[in-house]
C-alpha cells in the first residue's frame, strides 16, 4: 500500500510557507505525520506555523530550480524520516499578462518553479519509491490546467505542461506500486492573488485594456474566493489515504463547472474537426 496503514506517514511538500501548502503542513503535523517541507524561507515557515508542534517537521530551504539542492533535500528527508510516502508538488505562483508581454526571463522563471522544480523533485524521489514499490505523487495543478483564460497564458502553459507530465508519469510508475494524482483547484481563499504571489509583467503593451481590467479584478478578489483552503488540504490528505481518487481530481464547484464547460467545448471542436481530419490519411481523397 502506498500509504502506511500503521504509524505516521512521511510527506514531502513543496511551497510550504503560505497558502494551500502551509495549510496542508499544519494539518499533517496535527495528525502526527512526518513532514519535510520546502520553502524559500524556513524562518517564514516556522513563523507561520506559530505554536504548532514542529517535532515531526523538517523545514528545508530549497531553490526548486536547483537539481542538486532538491536532491539534497530529499536525501535529508530520507535520513530524518526514512522513505517518503507522499510527495506534494505544490510550489508555484501566478503570472498575469498578455502572451506578448511576458518576457523570456519571466516565462522561464515561472517554468523553473512549476515544471522543472517539480521534475527535479520527481527525479529525486522516484528511485526510492520504485525500489520500495510504494509511494504517492500528488501534483497540484489548477483548473487552468484544463481550460484557459485571457491574460493567464504563461500560467496555463505551465499547468498544461504539468498535466501532460503527470499523465505520462502515472502510466510509467503504475506497475511499481506508485500512485499519481493531479489536483485541480478552482479559486481558493488563500494569498495566491496577493501581489507577492501574483506577478505582473515588467512591460505592458497598448490595447490590452480587458486584461488590465481583469488584473485589477483579480487583485481585488482576495477574501471573496469560493474555495476553503482547509477543506482543500483535507481533501489532499484523503486522496493520499484512500487511494481511490481519479487521476484528475477537481476541487471546488467552480473548478467542476469550468472543467465541464471545457470538455463540452473540446468535444465540439473534435466533432467539427472530424471531416477535415479524416482526409489526411494516406489513400483518402481530399
Cell numbers placing 17: 510557507
Exactly one of 3, 93, 155, 208 is catalytic; name it. Answer: 155
Q: Are 10 and 34 in contact (CB under 8 A)?
A: yes
Whether 155 is a known active-site residue: answer yes
DSSP class per residue in 13-27 = ESS-SSHHHHHHHHH
Integer CA distances (angstroms), 265 to 167, 188, 246, 250, in order: 21, 25, 22, 18
Q: Is 197 helix (H, G, I), strand (E, B) or coil?
A: coil
Residues 94 and 108: their CA atoms lie apart, in Å, by: 13
DSSP 144: G
Integer CA distances (angstroms), 62 to 16, 20, 117, in order: 11, 18, 10
Residues annotated as catalytic (active site), given as ranges = 155
Amino acid at each position: 500500500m502506498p500509504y502506511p496503514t500503521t504509524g505516521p506517514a512521511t510527506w514531502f511538500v513543496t511551497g510550504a510557507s503560505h497558502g494551500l501548502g502551509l495549510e496542508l503542513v499544519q494539518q499533517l503535523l496535527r495528525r502526527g505525520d512526518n513532514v519535510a517541507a520546502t520553502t524559500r524561507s524556513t524562518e517564514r515557515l516556522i513563523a507561520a506555523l506559530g505554536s504548532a508542534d514542529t517535532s515531526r517537521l523538517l523545514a528545508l530551504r530549497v531553490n526548486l530550480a536547483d537539481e542538486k539542492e532538491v536532491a539534497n533535500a530529499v536525501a535529508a528527508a530520507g535520513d530524518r524520516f526514512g522513505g517518503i510516502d507522499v510527495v506534494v508538488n505544490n510550489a508555484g505562483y501566478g503570472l498575469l499578462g498578455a502572451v506578448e508581454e511576458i518576457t523570456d526571463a519571466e516565462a522561464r522563471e515561472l517554468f523553473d518553479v512549476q515544471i522543472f522544480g517539480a521534475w527535479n523533485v520527481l527525479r529525486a524521489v522516484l528511485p526510492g519509491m520504485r525500489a520500495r514499490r510504494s509511494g504517492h505523487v500528488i501534483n497540484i495543478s489548477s483548473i487552468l490546467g484544463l481550460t484557459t483564460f485571457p491574460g493567464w497564458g504563461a500560467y496555463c502553459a505551465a499547468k498544461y505542461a504539468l498535466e501532460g507530465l503527470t499523465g505520462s508519469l502515472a502510466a510509467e510508475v503504475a506497475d511499481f506500486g506508485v500512485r499519481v494524482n493531479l489536483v485541480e483547484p478552482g479559486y481558493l481563499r488563500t494569498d495566491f492573488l496577493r501581489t507577492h504571489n501574483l506577478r505582473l509583467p515588467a512591460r505592458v503593451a497598448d490595447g490590452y485594456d480587458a486584461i488590465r481590467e481583469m488584473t485589477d479584478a483579480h487583485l481585488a478578489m482576495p477574501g471573496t474566493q469560493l474555495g476553503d483552503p482547509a477543506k482543500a488540504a483535507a481533501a489532499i490528505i484523503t486522496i493520499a489515504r484512500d487511494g481511490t481518487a481519479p487521476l484528475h481530481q477537481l476541487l471546488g464547484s467552480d473548478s467542476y463547472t469550468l472543467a465541464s464547460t471545457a470538455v463540452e467545448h473540446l468535444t465540439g471542436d473534435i466533432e467539427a474537426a472530424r471531416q477535415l481530419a479524416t482526409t489526411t490519411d494516406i489513400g483518402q481523397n481530399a
